[in-house]
Amino acid sequence: MTPHNVQDEGPTDQLQDRSDLLPPPPPPKSASPPRILVIGAGSRGRTYARATLSSSNGVVVAVAEPDGYKRKQFGKNFICGTEEPPEGSLFADWREFVAWEYARREREKAGETVPECVDAAFVCVLDEMHHDVVVGLAPLGLHIMCEKPLATTLGDCVNMYRALAPHQKDKVFSIGHVLRYSPHNMMLRKLLLEDNVIGDILSVVHTEPVGWWHFSHSYVRGNWRKESTTAPSLLTKSCHDIDIILWLLCSPPPGSNEAPHLPSTVSSSGALQFFKKSRKPKAAGSATNCLSCPIEQDCMYSSKRVYVGPKHQGIETGNTHWPVSIVMPDIESFSKDKRKEALLATLAEDYEASTSKEEVEKRNWFGRCVFESDNDVCDEQVVMMSWDEDSEGRGSKQATFHMIAQTKKQCDRYSYIYGTEGEIYADSRTITIEDFRTGETKTHKPRLESLGHGGGDAGLTRQFILAVDQVKNHGWAAETAQSEYIGCSLEEIIRSHAMVFAAEEARTGNKVIEWKEWWDKEVGQI
């Protein structure tokens, strides 16, 4: 069973190894480097911890993680090595940390020598836990980076805004929209909004190809398969993409005093089209588990093929990280010659007809037939957004977003952007500009800092911790550090999440949403 706080982000992109994947040296450390707490030692927590050490001027000093094995390994890898963990470094969960921190402050007031406080927290627990963790941390006055999405309901997002807003004068806040921080997307935005290489933007068509087996892992068998326990796939998988579109079409250029160009309408269509029982091959019969299925060897979704075999990232390739570590978080505790056997035993776990629905739903069954799961999230969805010409003279435009599960590409996004004077094709490797005025074609190949969202993981980590450092050590106002280093306001974070919820209302209600009317009703003044 997957521990309740495991984050299963999956492959960030599927690029070939490149010789220029050499990160820049981390910024110089201040005399008192930002001290970082990571809440949740799943794949995202480990990603931000690695980026903290390799790409930032902060130090990881504490972790909150309920799984004992993962907590110990995280401490060994990122905090204390083989030495005894110091006081205040390992916590069973975030509540234990909060209680300890309040007690630490009381001890400090009483004149006792206590460990130094943490400055910032990375919140990397499951999506549905974000609200309680961030609201619980807010009174401590820490700088916070919350993994995306902010929360799984619009009400929780607004509540988090209200809990955080009083602290914005002296604390920074960031969201895990890492796509904003990749060198590729930063160059794309500069070309569009500052250099105006294709004139005014008229239309954006953006696609996120999730990948056929990646979707089955995370959104059919895994944590994000049911709206009732997590959220729609548009939020859990693609809030990144909606945010990028609004970043390009709504947010003003850097250094501009312009108000955001707010959208006018949003509509959406989509459904669970493929991963359902009506699509199950008849030859599979009543099998609910791959390892007992008569056609397992011929099924492309066989859990044995995905997690064990050599074609993807199975254990036979020597991989013990994602996705294998999601199926068995303690896979590395087994000797190499025992790992395959242990993994197969986990994949063979099945339920019976007499097993209660509650028992089946409360855990992930990674050996489960993808056509027998209890998943209900969309495996394909299209969102359409439009902007009217406004009083500032900014022209009308539109954007279309397409999320699709059944693809060879995995999270390797691509966009077509059409302007008044040219067009752009951008993927995870290149940005190609067709200039209508000159007839020239120009291709940019932005440098990749890492394979983590094209460098976005490292970029977000570095920028957040630099902002914390400027406030802690260099006398900067938090609002200035937020603007200069994080480049995204709390209001922008709420807006991009609200767009996802508006799109879902449009999809389920089969209607077109008028943005301003909807915003005034559902969000109001924040």
pLDDT digits (tens, 9 = 90+) for 336-374: 999 999 999 999 999 988 999 889 888 999 999 999 999
Structure tokens at 291: 């390892």
485-516 burial by CB neighbour count: b if 16+ within 10 A, else e?
bbbbbbebbbbbbbbbbbbbbbbeeeeebebe
Q: Residues 72-98: pLDDT tens digits?
A: 999 999 999 999 999 999 999 999 999
Q: Name the 3-class secondary structure at 175.
A: strand
The DSSP code for 115 is P
Across the chain, what does the average pLDDT equal? 92
Cα–chain-centroid distance for residue 440? 37
Give me the amino acid identity at 151: A
Residue type, 514: E
End-to-end CA, the chain: 40
pLDDT at position 4 is: 34
- Cis before 323? omega within 30: yes
Single-letter amino acid code for the residue at 169? K
What is the predicted pLDDT for the residue at 10? 44
- How would residue 256 be classed by pLDDT, with cut points 50, 70 and 90? confident
Short-list 395, 432, 429, CA closest to 412? 429
Q: What pLDDT does residue 449 have?
A: 60
pTM for the complete prediction?
0.91
Domain boundaries defined on the chain: 35-147+454-487, 181-275+376-449+495-522, 292-361
The residue count of the chain comes to 526
Same fold, 35-147+454-487 and 181-275+376-449+495-522: no
d(CA 520, CA 143): 29
CA 89 – CA 279 distance, rounded (Å): 49
CA distance 264 to 492: 16
What pLDDT, in 10s, does the model give residues 384-440?
Answer: 999 999 998 899 999 999 999 999 999 899 999 999 999 999 998 899 999 999 999
- pLDDT at residue 525, rounded to an integer: 81
Domain 35-147+454-487, CATH among 3.40.50.1820, 3.40.50.300, 3.30.1330.20, 3.40.50.720: 3.40.50.720
Q: Which of 115, 377, 409, 344 is nearest to 232 (CA)?
A: 377
pLDDT average, residue stretch 266-283: 98
Per DSSP, the three-state class of 121 is: strand
Using alpha carbons, select from 317, 250, 201 the residue that is nearest to residue 493: 250
Token pair listed for 197: 């290489």
pLDDT digits (tens, 9 = 90+) for 211-252: 999 999 999 999 999 999 899 999 999 999 999 999 999 998
C-alpha triplet 54, 121, 218: angle, nearest 5°: 80
- Angle 205-206-209 (CA atoms, 0-180°, nearest 5)? 135
Is pLDDT at 12 greater than 50 in this prediction? no
* Tens of pLDDT, residues 444-501: 998 766 555 556 799 999 999 999 999 999 999 999 999 999 999 999 999 999 999 9
Asked if the model's pLDDT at residue 146 lies above 70, the reply is yes
**Rg of the Cα trace of the chain?**
23
Give DSSP secondary structure letters for 457-483: HHHHHHHHHHHHHHHHHS---HHHHII
- pLDDT of 455 reads 62
Type of residue numbered 368 = R
For the record, the structure tokens of 119 come out as 């400055």
Query: How far apart, in whole angstroms, are the C-alpha atoms of residue 134 and residue 40?
Result: 13
Residue 22: is its pLDDT beyond 80? no
Half-sphere exposure of 356 (CA within 13 A, CB side): 3
Peptide bond preceding 149: is omega within 30 degrees of 0, i.e. cis? yes
Q: Are 306 and 213 in contact (CB under 8 A)?
A: yes
Return the residue matching tokens 């209001």. 491
Tokens standing for residue 58: 């902060």
**CATH second-level architecture of 181-275+376-449+495-522?**
2-Layer Sandwich (3.30)
pLDDT on residue 25: 81
pLDDT at 450: 53
Give the list of residues 6+ apart from residue 363 with CB closer than 8 angstroms, or none: 1, 2
- Which is nearest to 380 in space by CA: 404, 347, 350? 404
Res 245: pLDDT: 97
Structure tokens of 523? 């969000």
Q: What is the pLDDT of residue 200?
A: 97
Give 3-state DSSP helix, strand, coil % of the chain, rounded to 5: 40, 15, 45
Give the closest residue to 303 by CA, choosing from 340, 349, 347.
347
pLDDT for residue 273:
97
